[in-house]
Structure 1
Amino acid sequence: MSRAGGGVLATFKAPALAALILATSGHALAQRPGALPLHCTDLAGALLPPARIGLPTNGALVQSAAMISATANGNLNGDYCRLTGVIRAQSAGTPDIRFEVNLPSRWNGRALQFGGGGYSGVVVTGTGPMPFSPDNAPLRRGYATFGDDSGHNGTSSEANFGLLEEAVTNFGYAHLKKAHDVALALITLGYGRAPEHMYFAGGSTGGREGYTVIQRYPDDYDGVIANAPALNFSGVRLIGVVVGQHEYRTPGGYLSPPLLEQVYARVMQVCDTLDGAADGIVSDVEACRAQEPEIIDSLRCTAQPAPASEPGCLTPPQIATLESLRDGLHLPYPLAWNVDSYRGYNVFQGTRFTSMLGLAHSPQRQPQLGFVSNGYLYAQGDAYLKYFVTHDPTFDSTNFDAARPGRYRERLVALSATIGAMNPDVSRYLARGGKLITLQGLADEVISPNQTIAYYQGLIGRYGEERVDSFMRLYMVPGYQHGNGVFIPSVDLLGALDDWVTHGNAPETLFTTDIAPATNGRTRPLCRYPAFPRYLGKGNLNSATSFTCTMP
């Protein structure tokens, strides 16, 4: 990836270092390429002017610079220079963007930006492992890494920053560009040259951010890993409100966790072996979908009210709640990029909604909605309406009509452009040879796998399968939910991405190891969508070699 390394990147408090930068403003600093910055601690106090950042800010400040020794307690990443600082906000009352940049002593010439999770609010340090690669930290592998807090302080579940417009813009997309430009300047300063390749990696919110940088900043990245991407952010929040209304506003619409487990158990009885293996995983989702009417009928109560002789049966209001999840959201007006729907979940294809991120565990709607008590989707949707849409922390989402939002429609559309990452135009990224890998669970209970598939299919409809294959790989994982599930994959996606970018070796079938506690160590082929792993009929059920990728 070609980037100019010249120019005065910053003004520093340390006069000696400032003189060194001025003296070497043409090209590299006087140190060997790939080596650890010679004066890490001198970087403390470095100032980056607003002109060096591609979006409006009040500049950036490196607040601390420290060498972390390979022998430091808890450090598994070798020697590296840790830089922390802030990117100054423009609006009064808006929090600064806090960031961290890590420069390893043995640099491989590449840089990796880490995405956030949930509503972010905590600095992503970049010192940990990649998603789905728990034993493989990129910093330890020689990558210069960086991350930030997306421009507000709090926990990943707090949405109150939605009252601040600059903070919303930062969260939606701006923090990505601002942190990238600051990190690029510091990396170039530290090593005397720009990275050969710049990558991005994240999941959920970080997955949405991955698609965001492809759509908005295609010239800044050579490769992106965007897992379980929270695309169509307004859509996923609105469907959460709709489902919550079915649970609490419709009499009898609530389903208890034991009843949800009954639904899951019935699905497994019908669909587990459709892929040829009794392994607790629904792999052939499309074949299972064909059995959906039978599954629902077998769960339906035969009499009203439900007799004691039918434990675990579903009443019409309870079926309606599940069908609202399955059917997704359909709006009579378009959001940004003419998006008017949010695809539904695989409710009757092996998704378990009793998890901590699933449906409500309490039959009563609490005054303050909780993720577990009232369901993750509903609680997040309610908070989105309060802070992002209405700017009214007392707003009651009980009777909010997503199809007819009245005076809030314009705001919903504007937010979907700021945060949604649904722009189908990725022509610039595709033309310059950028690469994209996306992995997601087919049993995801937070981000609908069908929304991700729909975006992918939209790209094929726009560019054709051959061009999409030239830059994108989509892997849908049977049995995997949103961080949990009956199968939790571990696979080196960064290695696959780097090999694709650097050597042109496009990944095909990958092999993944299950790290779910109950089945840790079993392996499966990770098939390119729409293929799925089918058991060959013989061999070890815990070995990937006993399966083949099969088209539905």
Structure 2
Amino acid sequence: MTQGERRVRITTTMRATRKFVGLATVMSVIVLAWLAIHRTAAVAKESPLAMHCAEFAGTVLSPELIAMPTAGALIESASMIGATAPGNQQGDEYCRITGRIKALNASTPDIRFDLNLPRRWNGRALQIGGGGYNGVVVSGTGVMPFSPDRAPLAQGYATFGDDSGHVGDSSLAEFGLVDDAVTNFGYAHLKKTHDVALALIARAYGRPPQRMYFAGGSTGGREGYTVMQRFPDDYDGVIANSPALNFSGVRLIGVKLGQAEYGGAGGFVPPALLERVYQRTLEVCDRLDAVADGIVSDVEACRAHEAQIIDSLRCALHTSTHDACLTDAQVATLLVMRDGLSLPYRLAWDVGGYHGYNVFEGTQLTGALGLAHQAQRQPVPTFYANGYLFAQGDGYLRYFVARDADFDSLSFDPQRPGKYRAQLIALSGTIGSMSTDLSGYIAHGGKLITLQGLADEVISPNQTIAYHDALVARFGKDEVDRFMRLYMVPGFQHGSGVFIPSVDLLGALDAWVTRGVAPETLTATDLAAATNGRSRPLCRYPGFPRYVGKGNVNMASSFVCAQP
């Protein structure tokens, strides 16, 4: 087959499907178009794929295959990865495809993507989200975070991901200067990559996937909620963990936190004192679930002791040199994080701020993603030196909001943003997933699983809970229970913590979608190094694990899911 024969040509009748109306019909037309063009029955009989893997290389996909405006896509490489190839831990061979989706504007970065087509396909596809500010292609070949060892690709899923439309470390926000790159990062890359992958999967196997899933955490969790809200007919199931739903809100509270630490005298809380706060919390709250296991499980009961904990940590003489207690300025810094952010204006979807964190309920703030480790602010804040929340918020203000690399975030007032208010509001609609209108996804029959740590120090667990409660207020508890499961995990932080759960969420989602088996209490195995292998029940919100008073404290069977 020549290069010209491999080029995709779709008639102009496809153009009418490019609007966001009847997306299911769009996909049907796309698939039929592929099949009409590539009727290679003989090849299909010779191989599990409808064409040989290497023949994808150099293929150009027409813009009409993609429901959002692009200049088409180019397949840069395609090769079979052998079952015994170095680095292939999947146990079977698969076709690995890499490519890029071209923008209409030549100055807009391409969206780079990877697609993996297993020889033994289970008829399902899984799109995998990114993290932070993305910028690195999601390969789709590995094990899902906090899941059992067998990767989705090894289970027969066709997997794919992308870089969201720019190149760079996930901490870098410079691409915020490019409008189209911001739109791609916010939502457009998800649809564009989905449509390209769907067309290639249909071409490879001779039929589209029976089920299309999405899975991601943090930014990838936000992306999961984004596809449900914006492209509800494209997905049958979503796993969206620790979701950065209120993206602008978490960036603004990061700025407020940095201002408390560095904007005045004495606000910096050194790591030793942060650890003292954590240990005092354990002293008061660890046994509230009937066992001392290093985990604050009954967070609501612990919250009732919050005033007691804070008072026991205050410096009676308010001395700034004391190394075993908190000054008023240091307490004020921690209260900024606990209280969250309230705005006198509304962001997109009538959002009025950001919910606070469980600072005094078992959240450890000394890790790599915690609060600042240095008393001096760096000219360009870094995660470790100045704290993850502040460093990310500072970059957001510089490049997305002010669009000035020299902008001083310490001088910015989120409550009174002045000339930047309109930009803040616009960004919150582009990069954010706070809409509670999931009616399209519900009507489609889609399912959702969200898991998050109650000790998360990056994405507030209370923000995620508030969104769930807003869904209940809109649709009613019974309706929400029919399509959503929320699991809040005690002791789990943003990828670390004293309890790091391993649980097969993809298996639970697939059983729910394909067989109607709705997940209830699951069992999570701890991945934390010090306690690896112990287990706990993974309780549906608002439940939490409570020790029954007897039995092995390292076994989930010794716990029940209690209500706060």
| TM class by smaller structure | over 0.9
The match for 1:386 among 367, 387, 398 is 398
8 Å CA contact 1:127–1:145 kept in 2: the answer is yes
- 2:133 aligned partner: 119
The match for 1:59 among 49, 54, 72 is 72
Per the TM alignment, residue 399 of structure 1 is displaced from its structure 2 partner at its CA by 1.4
- 2:33 aligned partner: 8
- 1:241 aligned partner: 255
Q: Which amino acid aligns with 1:343?
A: H
Aligned pairs for 1:179-218 (under 5 A) are 179-218=193-232
* Pair 1:296-2:321 in alignment: no
- 1:272 aligned partner: 286
Aligned pairs for 1:254-333 (under 5 A) are 254-305=268-319, 311-333=323-345
8 Å CA contact 2:550–2:558 kept in 1: the answer is yes
* Pair 1:513-2:525 in alignment: yes
- Hey, what's the Cα distance between the residues in 1 that align with 2:275 and 2:292? 19
- Cα distance 1:405–1:75, how it changes in 2: closer, same or farther (>3 A)? same
CA distances 1:451-510 after superposition (whole Å, capped 9, x unpaired):
000000000000000000000000000000001000000000000000000000000000
Q: Secondary structure at the match of 1:533?
A: strand
Per the TM alignment, residue 347 of structure 1 is displaced from its structure 2 partner at its CA by 0.2
CA distances 1:95-132 after superposition (whole Å, capped 9, x unpaired):
10000111000000000000001111010010011121
8 Å CA contact 2:31–2:202 kept in 1: the answer is no
- 2:52 aligned partner: 39
- Cα distance 1:284–1:32, how it changes in 2: closer, same or farther (>3 A)? farther
- Cα distance 1:198–1:37, how it changes in 2: closer, same or farther (>3 A)? same
* Pair 1:424-2:436 in alignment: yes
- Hey, what's the Cα distance between the residues in 2 that align with 1:69 and 1:38? 17
- Hey, what's the Cα distance between the residues in 2 that align with 1:523 and 1:416? 39
- 1:359 aligned partner: 371
The match for 2:241 among 222, 227, 251 is 227
Runs of at least 5 residues in structure 2 that lack an aligned partner in the other structure: 1-23
8 Å CA contact 1:43–1:62 kept in 2: the answer is yes
8 Å CA contact 2:545–2:559 kept in 1: the answer is yes
- Hey, what's the Cα distance between the residues in 2 that align with 1:232 and 1:225? 17
Q: Secondary structure at the match of 1:219?
A: helix
Per the TM alignment, residue 341 of structure 1 is displaced from its structure 2 partner at its CA by 1.3
- Hey, what's the Cα distance between the residues in 2 that align with 1:74 and 1:58? 34
- Hey, what's the Cα distance between the residues in 1 that align with 2:148 and 2:400? 34
* Pair 1:72-2:97 in alignment: no
The match for 1:370 among 337, 361, 382 is 382
- Hey, what's the Cα distance between the residues in 2 that align with 1:469 and 1:407? 43
- Hey, what's the Cα distance between the residues in 2 that align with 1:509 and 1:393? 48
Per the TM alignment, residue 7 of structure 1 is displaced from its structure 2 partner at its CA by 3.7
* Pair 1:523-2:535 in alignment: yes
Per the TM alignment, residue 32 of structure 1 is displaced from its structure 2 partner at its CA by 5.3
Q: Secondary structure at the match of 1:8?
A: helix
8 Å CA contact 1:36–1:81 kept in 2: the answer is no
Per the TM alignment, residue 21 of structure 1 is displaced from its structure 2 partner at its CA by 6.0
CA distances 1:175-213 after superposition (whole Å, capped 9, x unpaired):
000000000000000000000000000000000000000
* Pair 1:536-2:548 in alignment: yes
8 Å CA contact 1:36–1:106 kept in 2: the answer is no
CA distances 1:425-451 after superposition (whole Å, capped 9, x unpaired):
000101111000000000000000000
Q: Which amino acid aligns with 1:181?
A: D
Per the TM alignment, residue 8 of structure 1 is displaced from its structure 2 partner at its CA by 3.4
CA distances 1:237-272 after superposition (whole Å, capped 9, x unpaired):
000000000001121111000010000000000000
Aligned pairs for 1:323-472 (under 5 A) are 323-472=335-484
- Hey, what's the Cα distance between the residues in 2 that align with 1:538 and 1:313? 37
Per the TM alignment, residue 367 of structure 1 is displaced from its structure 2 partner at its CA by 1.3
Q: Secondary structure at the match of 1:252?
A: coil
Q: Which amino acid aligns with 1:110?
A: R
Per the TM alignment, residue 23 of structure 1 is displaced from its structure 2 partner at its CA by 5.5
- Hey, what's the Cα distance between the residues in 1 that align with 2:47 and 2:54? 18
Q: Which amino acid aligns with 1:531?
A: G
CA distances 1:381-434 after superposition (whole Å, capped 9, x unpaired):
000000000110000011100000001000000000001110110001011110
Q: Secondary structure at the match of 1:127?
A: coil
Runs of at least 5 residues in structure 1 that lack an aligned partner in the other structure: 10-19
- Hey, what's the Cα distance between the residues in 2 that align with 1:465 and 1:35? 44
The count of aligned residue pairs is 538
Per the TM alignment, residue 29 of structure 1 is displaced from its structure 2 partner at its CA by 8.1
- Hey, what's the Cα distance between the residues in 1 that align with 2:266 and 2:50? 64
- Hey, what's the Cα distance between the residues in 2 that align with 1:335 and 1:33? 56
Per the TM alignment, residue 306 of structure 1 is displaced from its structure 2 partner at its CA by 5.5
CA distances 1:317-361 after superposition (whole Å, capped 9, x unpaired):
110000000000100000001001100000000001101001000
- 1:50 aligned partner: 63
- Hey, what's the Cα distance between the residues in 2 that align with 1:170 and 1:216? 13
Q: Which amino acid aligns with 1:49?
A: S
Per the TM alignment, residue 36 of structure 1 is displaced from its structure 2 partner at its CA by 3.5
Per the TM alignment, residue 30 of structure 1 is displaced from its structure 2 partner at its CA by 5.4
The match for 1:101 among 102, 105, 115 is 115
Q: TM-score, normalised by structure 2?
A: 0.93
- 1:136 aligned partner: 150
